[in-house]
Amino acid sequence: MLKPLVLAPQIVLRGLAQILLLRTATAGALVLCGLLLASPALAGAAVLGSALGSLLALFPGQPRQDLGLGLHGYNTALAAMAAQAVFEPSLAALVLIVGMVALTAFILRAWRPWPVPLYTAPFVLGVWAVTAAAPLLGLEPAAASASVPAVTLTDGLMHGLAQVLLVQSLPAGLCVLCAVALESPRLAVRALAASALGLAIGLLLDRPQGALAAGLAGFNAVLCVLALPRGTVRQVLVAASAATLLSLAAQGLGIPAFSAPFILSTWAVLMHARRTGMARN
């Protein structure tokens, strides 16, 4: 009886770690620390989402083999965080968080046979569906923050890491960097380079400096690096560059792409690698 209670916190933390495509509870604790420093409310939503997603994996018919790795928690954690960040706090928003978690878990189960990793696709699809239905549900978008701290393009380097957690925060970015460095110092350097690449492409395309300083050009590139730790330099560069361009295009059109650019770019690289590998065989 005590074993599930002892393991539960670790599973929840691993669900948070999987947001960075990492597996350890220590990495999850650093993610939680970064969220607490940036937004306690968002940290609470993340824990709730990871816990609910993991709990749903215990229902009959749900695949449980990945439960201990946190693979049932990270998409639902992101869904809960997005609901908390996008909509005004209310009872309806709280119900929405639970609903988004359930929808995301359902998408995760339905898409498991997909030939490439799902990454954050269930989260993105769930958020898009709920955002489209928000007016019908009577949900109000969250008000913009009245006081926005002054940021520079230099801040954008660390914010590109923090935006993986849906926040703009230097301490959160540092926590992300530490979590990745514990897994692999080389991967941490690559993640910083990816954030810098996003900034550079944004500057070359003359995108608004406020968005660049907020890290919005770099986080999809960072995710590509984290998803392809064993990829060649060429594969990582292609995926990160494509993800940045797609992200900037979506921002220019006013489309809330979230991590969709990362997903599409990484899928394209993986599928191309499979095809060329099959052709050589």
Does 155-280 match 2-137 at the fold level?
A: yes
Q: Given pLDDT bands bounded at 50, 70 and 90, which one contains residue 62?
A: low
User: Which of 81, 166, 88, 78 lies closest to 134, judged by CA?
Assistant: 88
pLDDT of residue 61: 58
Stretch among 8-17, 85-94, 167-176, 242-251 having the lowest mean pLDDT: 85-94
User: Which of 263, 238, 258, 279 lies closest to 116, judged by CA?
Assistant: 263
**2-137 under CATH 1.10.3430.10, yes or no:** yes
The structure tokens listed for 108 are 């995760």
User: Degrees (nearest 5) of the Cα angle 23, 223, 203?
Assistant: 155
pLDDT of residue 57: 77
pTM confidence score: 0.91
User: Which of 170, 95, 180 lies closest to 139, judged by CA?
Assistant: 95
> Rounded mean pLDDT of 18-39?
97
User: Does 199 score more than 70 pLDDT?
Assistant: yes
Q: What is the pLDDT of residues 113-166, one digit of tens each?
A: 677 888 999 899 888 988 888 788 777 777 666 555 667 888 999 999 999 999
Domain boundaries, the chain: 2-137, 155-280
Stretch among 30-44, 49-63, 72-86, 177-191 having the lowest mean pLDDT: 49-63
pLDDT of residue 85: 87
- In this predicted model, which residue has the larger pLDDT, 172 or 103? 172
Stretch among 33-47, 136-150, 237-251, 265-279 having the lowest mean pLDDT: 136-150
Q: Is 141 helix (H, G, I), strand (E, B) or coil?
A: strand
The structure tokens listed for 106 are 């359902």
DSSP 201-221: HHHHTT--HHHHHTTTTTHHH
- The CATH code for residues 155-280 is 1.10.3430.10
Instruction: Report the greatest alpha carbon distance in the chain.
Output: 59
The neighbouring-strand residues paired with 141 are 87
Q: What is the pLDDT of residues 234-259, one digit of tens each?
A: 999 999 999 999 999 999 999 999 99
pLDDT of residue 139: 73
d(CA 228, CA 119): 12
Place of tokens 């769930």: 126
pLDDT of residue 114: 73
Q: What is the mean pLDDT of the chain?
A: 87
